[in-house]
Structure 1
Amino acid sequence: MKSSRVSDRLEELRRSRFVGRDREQTLFQSALDEAQLPWHLLYIYGSGGVGKTTLLREFAYICEQAKTPVVYLDTRNVEPSPDSFFSALQMVIGLEHQNQLWEWFASQPGHCVLLIDTYETLTPLEDWLREFFLPQLPENALVVLAGRQPPSSAWRADPGWQALMRLISLDNLNPEESRTYLTKRQIPVEQHSSVLNFTRGHPLAMSLVADVFAQHGNIHFRPEAAPDVVKTLLEQFVQEVPSPLHRAALEVCALVRLTTEALLCETLAIPDAYELFNWLRGLSFIESRLQGIFPHDLAREAISADLRWRNPERYAELFGRARGYYCKRILQTQGLELERALFDYVFKSPQVRQFFISSWD
């Protein structure tokens, strides 16, 4: 009898904890089921730790079950140059020469799939991939790119790729899926609400919290009591902060409901916040709306919890400056702007917020 490998056991354990992503799996499976691929590129994007790699592993499993050749390439350690990319791909497939790549793809009797993970590291190579590498692949090839950032305007502006590409914005698991995951990880049911209030269904966050329970037994979870969990999450969301001022801007963004350039100038006591605001807006976990920008819920919780734990005096200072800014707006505005200023002012005070809501009702 053939003995199983450690990798087999790892894969079995990973799959046993896989939850949700039904829509994404159905989309991927539907493409493989067609005699001719309806599209050739699946572009998946989402914040760090949201489950992109896990989903790619599930895609690989779907391919294996369907006897579809699949190649998985994680580009985090690949230099963003054509030669390095080709070399990495050759090594994964097991080919000796670069010109064998095209032959390998074309020689597959049916569809074949190329999964490229950590795609954000290949940003300098994007034009080459879009205009040379991908178009050279045979029609039986389906490529899946998974990275933190949405596709650039060059992808969206190309009529050809508009027709041959599908987009998936990967978000947190919904409440039902999240509770299923926590149950699988043997988290006590009475703790589910406190865990979900912090993690908001973020897969990595739930996994880290589940590890805390596994190590310490039946505890009452609080973010401030798990600084290692928060640190790991911050590393996933924020890979690099250029300066202390940028870090302060990020902390302000986590403390307020919506961030604007004017608010940054006031809270950080600087005359111009254009560069800081644009840096914030470019982060993968920052979202935009008409009135300003705001962080992903979990990123907000993690940054706030880290600041409260690391420097409570700084937390109080920034919070007070933001409150001062909103007080000025309340005195200087009226109508809809006044209503927004009031909501901004009470954003971190649930009891006061409930008072205002009750009064307006």
Structure 2
Amino acid sequence: MRSETGKGLTWGHSLADWEERLLVGRGRETDEFRAFLRGANDLGGARMLNVTGAAGMGKTRLLAAWRTIAEAEGACWLRADAGERATAEDWLPALLRALDAALPQDGEACLPAERRSEGSDSLMERAIEKLVKLCGEQPNGETVLLAIDSYEAGGALDRWLREKMFSRLPMRLLVAAASRQPIRLFAREPGWSRLLKTLALSGLSAEDVRRYAGRLELGEELGERLWLASRGHPLTMALAAESALRHGEAGSSVAGAADLLEQAVRGWLAELPNEEAREGLLHAALMRSFQRESLSATMGRPLGWEAFDRLTGSWATERASCGWTVQPQLKEALRALYKRTAPLQYEEARGRAAAYALEALRDRGSAGATGRSGEAMSDLLYYAEHPILRAHYRAVESSAYRWVPLEDRLLPLADAYLARRREGAAPQSVACADPASASLFRYSLSSEESVLRLADIGAEELRDERAVRKLLLTETGEAAGLAVIWPISPATEDLLRRNPYAASYMASKTPGALDALYRGKSAFIRTIDVADLSDEGLRHASFRLLLDCLYVYETLAASPPPLTFYADSHRSVGFEAVDGAGHPAYGSRHGMADVYELRLAGEHFARYASRMIGLPAERVASSPAAALAVASGSFALPAPQEPLTEREREVALLLAEGRTLADIAGTVFVSVVTVKKHVGAIYRKYGVANRAQFMGVLLQRT
């Protein structure tokens, strides 16, 4: 809070100061509002700012913050909320009352709507007259800003205002409207696409929630638990924090927050227009990103274009690099609700989504297969069950950092990064949480430990063109990370055998195993270092590079520093320690360092995918394309040697999806024993002996 005292300061100043401090995670929106105000006199600029978001996302709080900004810059602020199912006749008297307060010299009291006999056109004329007068009375031509909360509640009010009233407003008058759904424009309104700017509110990040807890002096652990319970939902976070402040019961306040969040999620679903849209949103929340085809596969049936358009046009979704995605915090809350209320359906849908993600990886190593780089591996590992992986992965799903090849012109930047990291070594701490399992993970690194990933990395290694060398850059072009990855090949064998961090791995391989590494695409990760592991964006950037490596290479090896953070990180992605390959290269004080290996070639990849995403091995080995075809209704079973009965055909289609016998029994409402009889008949009619052979028949004919 402000420390200065003296005349002119009021309780209102203190309140405003606290409101400003506790508004976290809305820097972009406040910057956009300031730019909106600055463009008030620009004829081609936006005249209406529409902030949208689900209930409890902080729209009303943001309007209050905007008021403080507007008044600090000399603007006049009017507030006239739309209210529940408002019409023009309901809303215009509220506007007139706000204008009467702003123009007290008029001396005209505005009566409630029910006591008026005037129609909307008459009310509108008087409102416009007063708005023009108010704009004319502003000193130095300052802006007048009309704020309308609950704007979507009016429905037809929006069309009426934009068609009849807003076009007649003075240029110095701007409108800020808060609504759950974004204002929908029609093709015949091209001009409005220039006058209207939409800001979609997303949930708060884990760091935002920690910052909020810190400003209330609630402590680090409660900050983490607030994040777990609220998943970044601002209202849930604020209510839980207030309960903890009042009663000092951190645990019960967080438990209560989870209940509040579930109530909010149910309310969000109820706002969607129909059951198909609600079902679509629940299934979209299971996916990293989605398009209509992938969402249909996850749902197990085709999703109509109209429902898809409604879903992607709602406040709940936003554009992603590969289609659309559900807002991150809403996504976690929807997943939790779906899993708790319909666990069997949830697992079936998650399995279908994971099977679809496998399609992008089924032909690993084929021509053009690396076009999407780590994106395809990201899609697959999104369904991983490891809580530490989920905690690292989902804290930040994108970042402003980018990896670039370490070209000669960037070598001075890399040298400077090495020097800066070593000279400025400082303790680092990592805190991350997995909402799905309500798990907290904390790691601490000393100053010395924070730079161990750069041990013995020097100018010579950075300039060896046999290595894959990358530099992580910020948006301003500064170095924030460094990576060196050595391909394993006859050309690098001698170097790797002499390198103290890789030598034990090379020595652990028989000549036959080395030949296999040379024939495939293999690499040893010497380092993937970022400047500050406590920065979630930097951690995410290092994780994304690792995913790129998982996609490109068939065998990966690494020997990170012998610290719990690195061990947990590598194991969570699927690396396994190589027996007998430990070494003391990081120094006797740190103990023996393990060497980790991850094999992804051929049958190893099927086992890896099954282990990571929790699907039965036979389902991983089956064709995701066949499962998609079944889900979309386009799949046709190949002709058997003898005709199938209707029930046998139904069971065969479920087998093609990769369902277990118990799943099939529950779907067709018969016993597992009966399903086994049907499966035996199906195998006999297709001339196969087991499920693997049956799937082989499908693969050959799909």
Q: Per the shorter chain, which TM-score range?
A: 0.7 to 0.9
Asked whether 1:118 is paired with 2:144, we answer no
1:17 aligns to 2:43 (yes or no)? no
In the TM superposition, residue 86 of structure 1 has moved relative to its aligned partner by 1.9
Encode CA deviations 1:145-186: one digit per residue, 9 max, x unaligned. 222344544599645872x55554444456665433222334
Matched, 1:210 2:241: yes
Q: Mean Cα displacement is larger for which, 69-78 or 90-99?
A: 90-99
After TM superposition, the structure 1 = structure 2 runs for residues 291-310 of structure 1, keeping only pairs within 5 Å, are: 291-310=322-341
Closer, same or farther in 2 for the Cα pair 1:141/1:242, shift >3 Å?
closer
Cα deviation for residue 228 of structure 1 reads 1.4
Find the aligned partners of 1:264 and 1:46 in 2 and give their Cα distance: 24
Indicate yes or no: 2:342 matched with 1:311.
yes
Pairing partner for 2:126 from 100, 109, 119:
100
TM-score (norm 1): 0.76
Match of 1:60 among 64, 67, 87: 67
Q: Distance in 2 between matches of 1:35 and 1:265?
A: 45
Q: Secondary structure at the match of 1:301?
A: helix
Distance, in Å, in 1 between the alignment partners of 2:326 and 2:274 is 19
1-structure distance, mates of 2:284, 2:192 = 38
> Which residue, 175, 193, 215 being the options, matches 1:143?
175
Which residue of the partner structure matches residue 132 of structure 1?
A: 164
In structure 1, the residue matched to 2:562 is: none
**Equivalent position of 2:94 in the other structure:** 88
- Report the CA distance shift for 1:121/1:218 in structure 2 as closer, same or farther (over 3 A): closer
SS in 2 for 1:114: strand
The equivalent position to 2:47 in structure 1, one of 41, 45, 53, is 41
Q: Is the 8 A contact 1:37 1:142 kept in 2?
A: no
Between Structure 1 and Structure 2, which shows a larger proportion of helix residues?
1
State the match for 1:192 in structure 2. 223
Corresponding residue of 1:3: none
Change (3 A) 1:75 1:353: farther
Is 1:70 the equivalent of 2:41? Answer: no
Distance 1:170 1:242 in 2: 20
* Cα pair 2:84 2:154 within 8 Å, conserved: no
- Which of 225, 228, 252 in structure 1 is aligned with 2:259? 228
Uncovered stretches (5+) of structure 1, i.e. residues with no partner: 1-5
Name the aligned partner's letter for residue 57 of structure 2. Answer: V
SS in 2 for 1:144: strand
2:255 equivalent to 1:219: no
1:348 matched to which residue of 2? 383
Q: Which amino acid aligns with 1:142?
A: L
Task: Flag the structure with larger Rg.
Answer: 2
Do the aligned partners of residues 259 and 167 (structure 1) sit closer, same or farther apart at CA in structure 2, a change above 3 Å counting?
closer
1:217-256 deviations in Å (ceiling 9; x for gaps): 2339978x85412223314643434555544332221112
- SS in structure 1 of the partner of residue 80 of structure 2: strand
Name which of structure 1's ranges 340-349 and 152-161 shifts more when overlaid on structure 2.
152-161
Deviations 1:7-64 (A, max 9, x none): 9998787566334645544554577679957757241323223322112112333455
Q: Where does residue 593 of structure 2 map in the other structure?
A: none
Q: Which runs of 5+ in 2 are unaligned?
A: 1-10, 101-109, 112-121, 390-570, 576-596, 601-702
Q: 1:174/1:324 Cα in 2 relative to 1: closer, same or farther (>3 Å)? A: closer
Q: CA offset at residue 311 of structure 1?
A: 2.9
Are residue 50 (structure 1) and residue 269 (structure 2) matched?
no
Aligned partners of 1:284 and 1:261: how far apart in 2? 18
RMSD, aligned α-carbons: 4.3
Partner SS, residue 138 of structure 1 = coil
The answer (yes or no) to whether the contact 1:46–1:171 under 8 Å persists in 2 is: no
Query: Is the Cα–Cα contact under 8 Å of residues 240 and 254 in structure 2 kept in the other structure?
Result: no
CA distance in 2, matches of 1:40, 1:83: 27
Deviations 1:305-337 (A, max 9, x none): 112232323322322333344456654785247
Partners of 1:50 and 1:202 within 8 A in 2: yes
Quick one: percent identity of the two aligned structures? 24
Partner Cα distance (2:302, 2:328) in 1: 29
In 1: Cα distance, 2:85 partner to 2:13 partner: 26
Which position in structure 2 is the counterpart of 1:320?
351
**In structure 1, distance between residues paired with 2:232 and 2:61:** 15
Separation (CA, whole Å) in 2 of partners of 1:141 and 1:229: 38
SS in 2 for 1:305: helix
Residues 246-297 of structure 1: CA distance to partner in whole angstroms, max 9, x if unpaired?
A: 4433222111222333334434333554344333213212123464332111
Q: Residue in 2 aligned with 1:266?
A: 297
* Corresponding residue SS for 1:113: strand
User: Relative to structure 2, which stretch is displaced further, 201-210 or 149-158?
Assistant: 149-158
1:146 partner SS: strand
Instruction: Return the offset for 1:300.
Output: 0.8
Match of 1:251 in 2: 282
1:144 Cα deviation after fit? 1.4
Paired AA for residue 43 in structure 1: L
Of 70-79 and 36-45, deviating more is 36-45
